[in-house]
Amino acid sequence: MRLAATLGLDVGGTKVAGGLVDAENRLLAVRERSTLVDGARDPGLKVTFALAQELVAEAVAAGSTIDGIGAGFPEYVDPTGWLTSREVISWTTQPAEMLGLLAPVTVESDVRCAALGEGAMGVAHGLSSFVFVVVGTGLSYALVEDGHARHGVRGEAIALGELEVSRRVDETSTLRLERYASGEGIRERYEALASHSVPGAAEVFRLASSGDRDAASVLRSAGHALGEGLATLVRLLDPGAVVVGGGVATGGGPWREALETTYAARLKSRPSPPPILWAALGSHAGIIGAAVAHRRRVVAASTA
């Protein structure tokens, strides 16, 4: 008997990661490709489609079948799987149409996929309610309740980064939270303060650990700002836990200390505020969660 696998794709601003996921949500194979082509981010989704083709061929060669494709994108995605923004990826054809040439497909927001992955196999496994916040190049969130990631009417229930930075953190800032506390925001603010360029937020963390006061100051303020943002989410959504993931979340030092301190201070009047948990699956969360999203949509359609 040929085993079936679901192809999960996690499309980002700098790379696309894909994997074959079995029925137990175990990764059978993982591949990555850079999406940067001549300064654009995956123009025409050519890199994404090529990687999907490669993984489908690999599954067939191994004696497996592909029962479908789940794909997460760093854009607004409406409840029907249609991309409604072009803020990150240089797409020209809807991915549901393109990837649908290979197999039945489900297209979702990347943060909702990562949330479902952490719920299925990560630190949020077994939780009936949690908010997943991804702090990477950008900043977004998803609310998961009873195994379902909330879309909102237009699929836009992800925009944590649209919040304004609290005046308690920075009285002079007019930036949105994403421009202040995401990986890209950390890089930009450090460069403006230190008057020299760095390749990304990881370098700011390294500089802070080496005693760079400007780097430590930027990370501390980013942590305070995000702690305020997480407390706001808790007040509005009342989740069972807050799960934080993404590349920036792997850092520690003044950033994490400031985040946890501010979060606790803003919610101290609550008898039992939800705990902050740190994501466990890393870059695999989006791949697994994309596969989970596809399977759940198929089940929902069959029982409708």
Per-residue pLDDT tens digits for 168-196: 999 888 899 999 999 999 999 999 999 99
Nearest to 145, CA basis, from 132, 155, 135, 134: 132
Q: Indicate whether 49 and 136 sit together in one domain.
A: no
Q: Are residues 163 and 217 in the same domain?
A: yes
> From start to end of 123-185, where are the E strands?
129-135, 139-145, 148-149
Number of separate domains in the chain: 2
Same-domain status, 210 and 172:
yes
Same-domain status, 159 and 98: no
Q: What is the pLDDT of residues 143-153, one digit of tens each?
A: 999 999 999 99
273 & 287 share domain: no
66, 121, 87: which is closest to 12 by C-alpha?
A: 87
What is the average per-residue pLDDT within 25-39? Answer: 90
14-23 residues labelled b (16+ CB within 10 A) or e (exposed): ebbbbbbbee
Return the bridge partners of 131, or none: 143, 242
Q: Which residue has the higher pLDDT, 4 or 49?
A: 49
Report whether pLDDT(282) > 80.
yes
Q: Which domain holds residue 43?
A: 3-118+282-303
> Do 39 and 257 meet the contact criterion of CB atoms below 8 Å apart?
no
* Residue 114 and residue 198 in one domain: no
Whether 2 shows a pLDDT value over 70: the answer reads no
CB atoms < 10 A from the CB of 179, how many? 17
- Find the Cα–Cα–Cα–Cα dihedral 66, 68, 71, 77, rounded to 10°: 170
Are 253 and 291 part of one and the same domain?
Answer: no
Instruction: Tell whether 209 and 287 lie within a shared domain.
Output: no
Q: Which two tokens stand for residue 153?
A: 């009417």
CATH code, 228:
3.30.420.40
pLDDT at position 234 is 97
Does residue 301 or residue 267 have the better pLDDT? Answer: 267
Residues 178 and 262 placed together within one structural domain of the fold: yes
Q: Do 174 and 268 lie in a common domain?
A: yes
Q: What is the pLDDT of residues 209-238, one digit of tens each?
A: 999 999 999 999 999 999 999 999 999 999
Confidence class of residue 301 from pLDDT cuts 50, 70 and 90?
A: confident
